[in-house]
Structure 1
Amino acid sequence: MNLSNLKPAVGATRNEKRVGRGTGSGRGGTSTRGHKGAKSRSGYSKKSGFEGGQMPLQRRVPKFGFKSLNRVEYKAINLDVLASLTEGGVTTLDSAFFVNAGLASKNAKIKILGRGEIATAVEVHAHAFSKSAVEAIEKAGGKAVTL
């Protein structure tokens, strides 16, 4: 065996479809494009969302609301979750700790909310706090540090 006698496996390749080569070929005349219409013409390209002149779905459905470009999305963590995390004797809760605990992703901004109660004194580092969360943390002897 050498490079001069390599061939593809049997059935792996097919001959190209030669269209528009006369009626005897079986693919003359309309060249397998059917009769008339935009799809039979050369240079045809379908616009995305085009529905044959019918009002497209994207224009039929009503639009409402808007998304602010300046919105800051926070990952909310409540005090009762913090209380369950501090049972192991942890004194500092920061973003790296929350990532390891599976509560937030690496680049997420974290906000501590005031649902539940916390009994142990812990130092909590987060991007934002609710007023009730700050009060509860400081009442327990801890510290709320805004990043």
Structure 2
Amino acid sequence: MQLNNIKPASGSKHAKRRVGRGIGSGIGKTAGRGHKGQKSRSGGYHKVGFEGGQMPLQRRLPKRGFKSMTLKYNAEVTLADLEVLGADEVDMLTLKHAGLIGQMTKVVKVINTGAITRKVKLSGVGATAAAKAAIEAAGGSFA
């Protein structure tokens, strides 16, 4: 086999239909578009969602809520996660290596879910008031 001998499988390729090329072709004159009207003209067709002048569905329904663009840069870590992690000093890099937060995360906050008994020093990581109290009660600190 050589590059100049390779051919596509028989039947896999077919010629593009050439419309409007005379009566003998079977699709001459109107070229399969019927007679007159907007859909028969070149460049003539309605836009997506157009309902003939009636107020379209996407404009009839109320607008609701929004999705924060900064949400993907924020992450939460629970007290139970810190307990399982087993590190004495915890920062963003430690959490990223452990897979507890995503690589794009810029802001991390510890939330009060679960319990912690280990002494942990947090640096560059925020915490809720209840989580902060629980960490300090276990002998931990914030830098």
TM (norm. structure 1) is 0.72
The runs of 5 or more residues in structure 2 that have no matched partner are none
Query: Cα distance 1:58–1:83, how it changes in 2: closer, same or farther (>3 A)?
Result: same
Match of 2:39 in 1: 39
- Counterpart AA for 2:35: H
Structure 2 counterpart of 1:131: 129
Instruction: Indicate which of 77, 91, 100 corresponds to 2:88.
Output: 91
Query: Which amino acid letter does the alignment assign opposite residue 62 of structure 2?
Result: P
Q: Which residue in the other structure is 2:112 paired with?
A: 114
Kindly indicate whether the alpha-carbon contact (under 8 Å) linking 2:91 and 2:125 is maintained by their aligned counterparts in 1: no
Cα distance per residue 1:82-135 (max 9 Å; x no partner): 12222xxx2111112212222111221211012232222111234421111112
- When the two chains are superposed, the root-mean-square deviation of aligned CA atoms in Å is 3.2
Partner AA of 2:102 in structure 1 = S
| SS across alignment from 1:83 | helix
- Report percent identity of matched pairs: 43
Cα 1:119/1:13, change in 2 over 3 Å:
closer
Which 10-residue stretch deviates more, 134-143 or 13-22?
13-22
1 CA distance for matches of 2:27 and 2:94?
69
Aligned mates of 1:133, 1:53 — CA distance in 2: 57
Change (3 A) 1:53 1:124: same
C-alpha change, 1:119 and 1:34, in structure 2 (3 Å) is: same
Label 1:82 to 1:54 Cα distance change in 2 as closer, same or farther (>3 A): same
Residue in structure 1 matched with residue 98 of structure 2 by the alignment: 101
- Cα distance in 1, alignment partners of residues 139 and 82 from structure 2: 14
Q: Deviations over 1:39-65 (max 9, x none)?
A: 210123552333454543322322123
1:26/1:95 Cα in 2 relative to 1: closer, same or farther (>3 Å)?
A: same
List aligned pairs for 1:24-103, cutoff 5 A. 24-44=24-44, 46-67=46-67, 74-86=74-86, 90-103=87-100
Residue ranges of structure 1 left out of the alignment (5+ in a row):
none
TM-score (norm 2): 0.74
Are the counterparts in 2 of residues 111 and 126 from structure 1 also a CA contact under 8 Å? no
| C-alpha distance in structure 1 between counterparts of 2:5 and 2:79, whole Å | 71
8 Å CA contact retained: 1:112, 1:126: no
Paired residue for 1:141?
Answer: 139
Pairwise CA distance, 1:143: 1.1
